[in-house]
């Protein structure tokens, strides 16, 4: 099997002097060595668009290729500075070859689309435009209509199961949609929706037959819906809301409809969230604070035994999101700014974490001091586990980058 590597960079690996040692920030070359960490960084997207990698728990990879979003931006002059205005109608899916760094456009829809769903089994990316779900083949670029939601069940897809047969998502009430419309900012809508206790319904759509099946309904704010990467019948979801007020992480078996709590809070102000499946499907991992903003862990619950593991972090190492490597041996975090829950004075880094007993040994990979954390970096390990891929705006616009885990000489 051909080895998966992020390159186009082999020449630079041999001639390391080709990469300058620089403080990560504005106006970077395509490749450089971070002066603070001595790790090599490459910009994966080199165009005049805004480029966004997927949310941390949405797998973007098929083989050595990665699906991402790219949006046309128009340069404008404002207060003697160049800024960029997004043209939302031209937000399209692209495919990046991680060996050649060549990008190909996958979609050309005139209206905005949403959905970060890739099926390696089907070699397709799925997305939604208004009430219609589409799929595009990553090899042929051929697009097809998969499903149209009926008039009495307007909902959104968020995930696909391990064998590529079912899409899943949640249907919100009209009242909830109206709260979103009137309060577009998260700080405005978040508590309002939680306190309203409006009904949401989990559902699946059979890709082959088009059958819609309602799984579970509750007045909890059902969100963060993810299929297991291994078990086609296991769906994870959360009770959204202020984390210190909810037992957040749950699973449902789509055949038996059995709903099970994954982690129960054990003390006042404890929080657990930003959950994700490990690549082997055996463990659900999550950000764990006992209590909130004081003591920091990455926790994990074994889905067979229920036994929990937790690794302690330092305050500055807390990250908006964490993730695990494909082999499950290492973790990564995307850091956080001083205004986040950890109030970390020096937390703006991309981190690599290695478990050591009951704690993590942390390693700084990228200095993110020039990055505005209103854009979450959302890290991913590359398929060969040699790079961490993330998105950032430290150059003044959104782009996708990769940092090499091995330090440069």
Q: Whole-angstrom Cα distance, residue 261 to residue 272? A: 12
For residue 323, what are the β-bridge partners? 332
Q: What is the mean pLDDT of the chain?
A: 92
Tell me the two tokens of residue 16. 């390391």
The residues facing 151 across adjacent strands are none
Cβ atoms within 10 Å, residue 355 = 15
List strand residue ranges (DSSP E) for 245-292, in order. Answer: 249-253, 259-261, 271-277, 283-289
Q: What percent of the chain has pLDDT over 70?
A: 92
For 37-57, the pLDDT digits (tens) are: 999 999 999 998 999 999 999
pLDDT score of 88: 57
pLDDT tens for residues 378-407?
999 999 999 999 999 999 999 999 999 999
pLDDT at 307 over 50: yes
Distance CA 74, CA 72 (A): 7
Is the confidence at residue 309, as pLDDT, over 80?
A: yes
Structural contact between residues 234 and 212, judged by C-beta atoms closer than 8 angstroms: no
Q: What residue ranges in 26-177 does DSSP mark as E strands? A: 31-34, 40-43, 49-52, 61-62, 65-78, 81-97, 103-105, 114-119, 124-129, 132-137, 143-148, 156-160, 166-171
Report the pLDDT averaged over residues 272-277.
98
- Look up tokens 């959204």; give the residue: 240
Residue 83's pLDDT band, with cuts at 50, 70 and 90, is very low
Which are the contacts of 177, defined by CB distance < 8 A and separation ≥ 6? none
For residues 202 and 171, give the distance between their C-alpha atoms in angstroms, rounded to a whole number: 7
* Residue 193 CA, distance from chain mean position: 23
Quick one: which of 218, 125, 111, 215 has its CA closest to 169? Answer: 215
- Single pTM value for the model: 0.92
Measured from the Cβ of residue 54, the count of other Cβ atoms closer than 10 Å reads 21
- Residue 291: asked if its preceding bond is cis (omega within 30°), the reply is yes
User: For position 17, what pLDDT does the model report?
Assistant: 52
405: left (phi > 0), else alpha (psi -120 to 50), else beta? alpha
pLDDT digits (tens, 9 = 90+) for 355-371: 999 999 999 999 999 99
Contacts 24+ apart (CB under 8 A), 305-312: 308/263, 309/283, 310/358, 311/353, 311/355, 311/358, 311/359, 311/360, 312/358, 312/359, 312/360
Is the per-residue pLDDT at 264 higher than 70? yes
∠132-133-135 over CA atoms, to 5°? Answer: 140
pLDDT in tens, 128-147: 999 999 999 999 999 999 99
Please say whether the beta carbons of 34 and 366 come within 8 A: yes
Instruction: Quote the tokens at residue 171.
Output: 């249907």
**Can you tell me the distance from the alpha carbon of 398 to that of 403, in angstroms, rounded to the nearest whole number?**
16
Distances in whole angstroms, Cα of residue 93 to Cα of each of 279, 297, 379: 24, 35, 19
Q: For 196-245, write each residue's pLDDT tens digit.
A: 999 999 999 999 999 999 999 999 999 999 999 999 999 999 999 999 99
What is the model's pLDDT at position 15? 38
Helix then strand count (H, E) for the chain reads: 3, 31
DSSP 8-state code for residue 408: P
């Amino acid at each position: 099997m051909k080895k998966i590597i992020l390159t186009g960079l082999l020449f630079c690996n041999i001639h390391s002097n080709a990469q300058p040692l620089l403080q990560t920030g504005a106006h970077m070359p395509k490749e450089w060595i971070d002066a603070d960490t001595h790790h090599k960084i490459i910009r994966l997207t080199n165009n005049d668009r805004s480029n966004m990698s997927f949310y941390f728990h949405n797998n973007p990879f098929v083989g050595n290729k990665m699906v991402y979003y790219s949006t046309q931006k128009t340069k404008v002059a404002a207060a003697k500075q160049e800024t960029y205005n997004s043209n939302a109608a031209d937000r399209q899916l692209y495919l990046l070859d991680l060996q050649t760094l060549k990008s190909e456009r996958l979609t050309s829809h005139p209206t905005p689309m949403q959905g970060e769903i890739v099926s390696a089994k089907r070699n397709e990316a799925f997305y939604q435009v208004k009430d219609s779900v589409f799929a595009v083949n990553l090899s042929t670029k051929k697009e097809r209509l998969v499903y149209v939601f009926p008039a009495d069940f307007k909902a959104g897809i968020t995930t696909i199961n391990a064998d590529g047969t079912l899409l899943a998502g949640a249907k919100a009430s009209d009242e909830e949609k109206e709260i979103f419309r009137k309060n577009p900012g998260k700080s405005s809508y978040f508590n309002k929706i939680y306190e309203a206790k409006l009904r949401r319904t989990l559902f699946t759509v059979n890709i082959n037959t088009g059958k819609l099946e309602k799984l579970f309904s509750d007045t909890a704010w059902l969100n963060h819906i993810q299929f297991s990467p291994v078990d086609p019948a296991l769906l994870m979801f959360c009770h959204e809301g202020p984390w210190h007020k909810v037992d957040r992480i749950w699973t449902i078996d789509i055949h038996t409809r059995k709903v099970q709590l994954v982690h129960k809070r054990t003390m006042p102000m404890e929080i657990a969230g930003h959950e994700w499946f490990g690549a082997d499907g055996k463990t659900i991992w999550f950000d764990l604070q006992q209590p909130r903003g004081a003591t920091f862990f990455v926790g994990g619950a074994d889905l067979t035994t229920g036994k929990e593991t937790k690794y302690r972090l330092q305050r500055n190492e807390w990250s908006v999101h964490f993730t695990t490597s494909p082999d499950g041996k290492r973790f990564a975090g995307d850091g956080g700014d001083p205004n986040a829950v950890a109030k970390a004075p020096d937390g703006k880094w991309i981190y690599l974490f290695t478990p050591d007993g009951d704690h993590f040994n942390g390693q700084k990979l990228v200095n993110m001091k020039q990055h505005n954390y209103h854009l979450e970096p959302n890290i991913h390990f590359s398929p060969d586990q040699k790079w961490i891929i993330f998105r950032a705006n430290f150059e003044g616009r959104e782009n996708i980058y990769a940092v090499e885990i091995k330090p440069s000489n």
